Chain A
């Protein structure tokens, strides 16, 4: 009865959800500890992003059952948000330029 997809829905053992729940707790605690121990710089940012990605992956894959959907749906839903990263880099570039002009023209002026 483990992991069957039928027209009536999916059957997974309850234990699976409890394990994922536990992992989400551990990962959240880890990201809280990053702040608690005042980690700084690249280490802080990479740890925050790592724990964020792992938590998001667990929620989407197991809680939202994306791991058991067909690829046609998974790619249709998961690929478009990745394109947002292009938007992020465009706006990072833009913000960098804004900061540059502000520092040049508005500092000590």
Chain B
């Protein structure tokens, strides 16, 4: 199966737009996703399945929080930090949010420079993204350590409903795992960009497929998704 669409299918300018395009693409008896390559479409579909996993976590969190008769611990106080003598509510989480958003910004620019075939800038921006991601994971490790020292466990905590600990560790742990995997992939891609794999179409060590610049955008999709999930966790778990 070719990695990219045949030239005539890729020429989207000749195809209808709007609602007609939706019907035409899906009934075309060829490939439904005409502007997206195979790899990009599959990454989107993987992200869709991942959306369902995180949805299940957040829905189970909603269910236990709604149904408990014990008061829910106040996240604003639980995640407060004392900096310079003043008690700032939720400050660490806010900083983590800004770090992750910044990493998304640098990733978006890396994708842009990848399409301009700018090897150095792309690699540097991906490395900056990976550094932001690693910072985020470190702050999360700090947060976990702090809470564990304060006595939060998956089955109990000092402030209220015991379900707080189980949903907290489950949701943030699963998200942190995604960030960690993302950082590893970013480092691998940055190395490939730096080495010029995509200009030479050097074959991948695992897939044996020719290196293509598009992989930067596909990795970017995954990274933005990690940021996207954090938007929902931040709103529904930390702020609610």
Contact = CB atoms under 8 A, between A and B. Distances in A.
Contacts of A70: 12, 21, 25, 33-36
B108 interface: yes
A84 B239 CA distance: 21
Nearest to B216: A9
B38 to A, nearest CB: 12
B134 interface: no
Given A7-B4, A17-B112, A72-B21, A31 B235 contact: yes
A73 to B, nearest CB: 5
A80 B240 CA distance: 25
Main secondary structure of the interface of B (DSSP, over half): helix
Interface residues of B, number: 66
B97 interface: yes
Main secondary structure on A side of the interface with B: helix
8 contacts: A8-B115, A9-B217, A11-B115, A28-B234, A55-B231, A70-B36, A71-B19, A81-B55
Nearest to B214: A9
Interface in A1-37: 5, 7-12, 14, 17-18, 20-21, 24-25, 28, 31-32, 34-36
A56 B238 CA distance: 16
B26 interface: yes
A67 interface: no
Most B-side CB within 10 Å, residue of A7, A12, A52 = A7
Contacts of A73: 32-33, 35-36, 41, 44
